[in-house]
Amino acid sequence: MRSVVLAISGSLREPSFTEKILDLCIKGLGENQEVHKFYPHKMNIGPCKGCRSCWKPKTPGECVQKDDFEQILDVYKRADYFLLATPLYFFDLPATVKNVIDRFFIILEPAQIKSDEGGSTHPKRLGRHPKAALISSCGFAEIENFDLLRQHFRLICEHTDWSWSGEILVSEAGAAAAPKLFDRKYNLIEKAGAELLEGMISQKTTNAIAAPVMPAEDYRRMVTLNFEGGVIAKAKVSLIAIKAMRDKKKIRE
Ligand SMILES: Cc1cc2nc3c(=O)[nH]c(=O)nc-3n(C[C@H](O)[C@H](O)[C@H](O)COP(=O)(O)O)c2cc1C
């Protein structure tokens, strides 16, 4: 039977590097999937008003806002996988993506209960536990820039009963345009998709994808030169990329 994949493609720009990663992961999941990809910024989705209408006994789980979130919710009701692909914005989710997450308030019941982790949580409606994976890219070199987002996504999963199933995190996005530098990462991202199909993305694959392609200082110089423009800057960028390729080759040998 085909699995249902709910994918949020959260970047507001085209082409999106994060979406490229998302597509590779979907490819890794194989062909036997029913994939529904949503672009929150292109949809008419109002922010959660916090009116608690969905908590009222007469309208449980019903939102007062009749908008495009219903499309996402319809797929969610059948989803086996939830892929949240988002660029890193100020160390967390862009507002348009957070807006979608907030609308999942509708799956929470008003009661407060003790969570498995010992804190407080709400019982959930709809009984869905899709395998949820976080996919993100960022412009700084260090993978630690994702720390807050990673923690946030864990908490979202805990409080929605989505089954946390791994992470694909790519820093140094400003180097992705250099030929071949990211080819190994791209293969590994497809592998991560295949692993997700088997259960979850392994820590080993997550770490291999996250491995830097060049020293942070070189990367900072490269992206700074990228924005300077001009022939000389372009030549310097190429030299940094060639050095990174050579260093990678040396490590493999
Ligand atoms: C508003 C904004 C905020 C950003 N904040 C961060 C950040 O906190 N840390 C970081 O490393 N990169 C940050 N970036 C860079 C993006 O995360 C990075 O370019 C990403 O790869 C873009 O993905 P996309 O091509 O899918 O949009 C930011 C970019 C924008 C436009």
pLDDT tens track of the chain, all 253 residues? 799 999 999 999 999 999 999 999 999 999 999 999 999 999 999 999 999 999 999 999 999 999 999 999 999 999 999 999 999 999 999 999 999 999 999 999 999 999 998 999 999 999 999 999 999 999 999 999 999 999 999 999 999 999 999 999 999 999 999 889 999 999 999 999 999 999 999 999 999 999 999 999 999 999 999 999 899 999 999 999 999 988 877 766 6
pLDDT of residue 253: 62
Residue 248: what pLDDT? Answer: 76
Select from 92, 86, 83 the least CA-distant residue to 131.
83
Q: Is the CB of 94 under 6 A from ligand 1?
A: no
Buried/exposed 124-154: b ≥16 CB within 10 Å, e otherwise: beeebebbbbbbbbbebbebebbeebeebbe
Q: What is the predicted pLDDT for the residue at 252?
A: 62
Q: Which two tokens stand for residue 130?
A: 């899709």
Task: Give the model's pLDDT for residue 153.
Answer: 98
Ligand 1 atom nearest 10 alpha carbon: 26
Q: How many angstroms separate the alpha carbon of residue 139 from the centre of ligand 1?
A: 5
CB atoms within 10 A of CB 39: 16
**pLDDT tens sequence across 226-247:** 999 899 999 999 999 999 988 8
Atom of ligand 1 nearest to the CA of 90: 8
Could you tell me the distance, in angstroms and rounded to a whole number, from the CA of residue 140 to the centre of ligand 1? 8
Quickly tell me which residue has 């250099």 as its tokens.
Answer: 178
Find out whether the beta carbon of 136 lies less than 6 Å from any atom of ligand 1: no
Question: 18 C-alpha vs ligand 1 centroid, how far in Å?
Answer: 10
CATH 3.40.640.10 given to domain 3-212? no
CA-nearest residue for atom 7, ligand 1, is 90
Residue 99, pLDDT score: 98
Q: Which long-range contacts (CB under 8 A, 24 or more apart) does 47-55 make?
A: 47/99, 47/102, 47/103, 48/99, 48/102, 48/103, 48/105, 50/105, 52/110, 54/105, 54/106, 55/109, 55/110
Q: Which of 16, 42, 138, 170 to mutate to test the pocket of ligand 1 (most atoms within 8 A of CB)?
A: 138
* Ligand 1 atom nearest 19 alpha carbon: 26
Q: Tell me the C-alpha distance between 4 and 78, whole Å.
A: 6
ipTM field: 0.99
